[in-house]
Chains A and B, each alone.
Chain A
Amino acid sequence: MLNKEMLVVDVVEKFPCTEEVFKKYEEKAGNCIMCSHLFNTLEAVSRDYGLDLEQFMQDLEQSIKKGERVIF
């Protein structure tokens, strides 16, 4: 569903429900991820903020699986 090369903007555009996950991670990042890293990959976000990439992607995928509407 997701891969680490996807850009944040593409993820939130296709899966609006993931905004909540990004907001949750802002506390850990100490910064607004969707402001500063909107055009970066998920991998770059996790690298720049020292996040656990695997857990980050799992959380995003879980929010998508919860049945939110997908917008293409």
Chain B
Amino acid sequence: MERIVDARGLSCPQPVILTKKVMDEDDGSLEIITIVNQQAALENVSKLAANQGYQYEVEEKDGDFYIRMKKAQGEGTGVKEGKNIAVLVKSRLFGEGEEELGGILMKSFLYTLTEMKGDIKHIIFMNSGVFLTCAGSPVLEHLKALAEEGVEILSCGTCLDFYNLKDKLEVGSITNMYAAVEILTSAEKSLTI
């Protein structure tokens, strides 16, 4: 069944609030189409869809954006291809052991993720993992490539503050524990590194 939320001309946060109300009623059978005509609304509704575990596609028609959203229910549902995997990186090194090896493995891991097109939706950096998203990181190139592919790169704000890195963030945006837990628990799969 299709539900249309015509949010054209409405200012933030109304397009998101109206879309979320329909999502709250959705038992997984709805295809929600939100129509907006402002870039900020498009970005926020898309973000809401990703946060709530929806697959979405955007179509532009005559200056209006049609955001088609369908709850992700795993394989075989006819929903847009690609899994919804969230990755939690809680250290700047991969595994325990020699620091040099840990750095090499982390670089290799993040490069490998760039090859998994469409499957990774979020990468969340916590604790010393936030060093990887900041100036001087040896993996910025890979993270920027992932961001360009639509992967949401998120760094813990408390961690950036703790390490005094807030002004050095180079890729992605800042998140908090609440949002991180929501992403990790709504993902089809989550990996912790």
Contact = CB atoms under 8 A, between A and B. Distances in A.
B86 to A, nearest CB: 15
Interface in A6-65: 6-9, 12-13, 19, 32, 34-36, 38-41, 43-44, 47-48
A44 B17 contact: no
Given A13-B20, A39-B47, A47-B157, A34 B12 contact: yes
Contacts of A41: 157, 176, 178
A6 B182 CA distance: 13
Given A13-B20, A39-B47, A44 B176 contact: yes
B12 A32 contact: yes
Interface residues of B, number: 20
B178 A19 contact: no
| Dominant secondary structure of chain B at its interface with chain A | helix
Q: Give the interface size class of chain A.
A: 20 to 34
Contact of B44 (A13, A39, A43, A48): A39
Contact of A5 (B13, B16, B51, B176): B176
B13 A9 contact: yes
Given A36-B40, A39-B51, A44-B157, A7 B12 contact: no
Given A8-B13, A32-B12, A38 B44 contact: yes
Interface of B: 11-13, 16-17, 20, 40-41, 44, 47-48, 51, 157, 161, 166, 174, 176-179
Interface of A: 5-9, 12-13, 19, 32, 34-36, 38-41, 43-44, 47-48
Given A36-B40, A38-B13, A41-B157, 13 more contacts: A5-B177, A5-B178, A7-B176, A12-B17, A13-B20, A19-B13, A35-B41, A38-B16, A39-B179, A40-B176, A43-B157, A44-B157, A47-B166
9 shortest interchain CB distances as A-B pairs: A35-B40, A34-B12, A35-B12, A34-B13, A41-B176, A38-B44, A12-B13, A38-B13, A5-B178
